Amino acid sequence: MSDNDEIILADLSNEELFELMQDDLYDGYADEIVEEVHEALKRGLAPYEILTQGLVAGMDMVGEDFRDGILFVPEVLMAAKAMKAGMTVLRPLLVETGAPRLGVAVIGTVKGDIHDIGQNLVSMMWEGAGLEVHNIGINNSAEAYLEAVQKYNADVLGMSALLTTTMPYMKVVIDELKAKRMRDDVIVMVGGAPLNAAFAEEIEADAYCEDASEAVVRVKELLVLRRR
């Protein structure tokens, strides 16, 4: 049971509401997060603002304490569950779009890596931007990525990695695309906390994006360039 039982959400300022969301995400209170997201939406706050200032900011705190050995896997899993509960409410709003279809994307986390919150977020934002998105989940081998690219005739391949030990696998996938003469047919975009632009360049990806909103801007730019 959270302390929220005594808190009247409507009495909080927007800033206090975001702080409460961060605390409840940290504590893994999924039901409370859902209530708070609804309260924020009722106030007319933008879904992306709720996502970044409430949920992602809370997950950043979790990440710091996980790194410092204050939180452990079970607590982080609870926080991830709460994050997903909040994202479920926001999803239809983030993907709501009247935009014409921009292109087809396949996205997934690389082999050995089971972190999927970030890539789910990019996936939702790409859908919202008008892409047809096929999210192939976690722990993807090069074969799985290539098969999906072929199956959906994808214009874009998005790869996510959250571990320094799994990010090199992105190069394996790109090398496999080259070996199968598929590299020029698809835009390769990469992201995830341990990556940077230099790494993306080194592995010959087309773009590195720091967050989901940058992934939207970049995918649109690259698709336009490709059509020229």
Query: According to the binding rule CB under 6 A, does residue 119 interact with ligand B1M?
Result: yes
Query: According to the binding rule CB under 6 A, does residue 121 interact with ligand B1M?
Result: yes
| β-sheet with 156-160: strand ranges across | 131-135, 103-109, 156-160, 187-191, 207-209
Query: According to the binding rule CB under 6 A, does residue 86 interact with ligand B1M?
Result: no
Cβ 45 to ligand B1M shortest distance, Å: 18
Q: Which residues of 76-114 are buried (b: 16+ CB within 10 A; e: fewer)?
A: bebbbebbbbbbebbbebbbeeeeeebbbbbbbbbbbbe
Query: According to the binding rule CB under 6 A, does residue 191 interact with ligand B1M?
Result: yes
Query: According to the binding rule CB under 6 A, does residue 116 interact with ligand B1M?
Result: yes
Rg (CA), the chain: 18
Query: According to the binding rule CB under 6 A, does residue 163 interact with ligand B1M?
Result: yes
**Which SS3 state, helix, strand or coil, does residue 153 take?**
coil
Which lies closer to ligand B1M via its Cβ, residue 42 or residue 164? 164
CB 125, CB 212: distance < 8 Å: yes
**Which SS3 state, helix, strand or coil, does residue 134 take?**
strand
User: Quick one: residue 192, left, alpha or beta (phi over 0 = left, psi -120 to 50 = alpha)?
Assistant: left
* Stretch near ligand B1M under the rule CB under 6 A, chosen from 14-22, 76-84, 128-136, 140-148: 76-84
In whole angstroms, what is the distance from residue 17 CA to residue 48 CA? 15
Residue list 196-215, contact with ligand B1M (CB under 6 A): 209, 211-212, 215
Query: According to the binding rule CB under 6 A, does residue 32 interact with ligand B1M?
Result: no
Cβ 8 to ligand B1M shortest distance, Å: 29
| Residues binding ligand B1M (CB under 6 A) | 56, 59-60, 62-63, 66-67, 73, 76-77, 80, 107, 112-119, 121-122, 158-160, 162-164, 189-194, 209, 211-212, 215
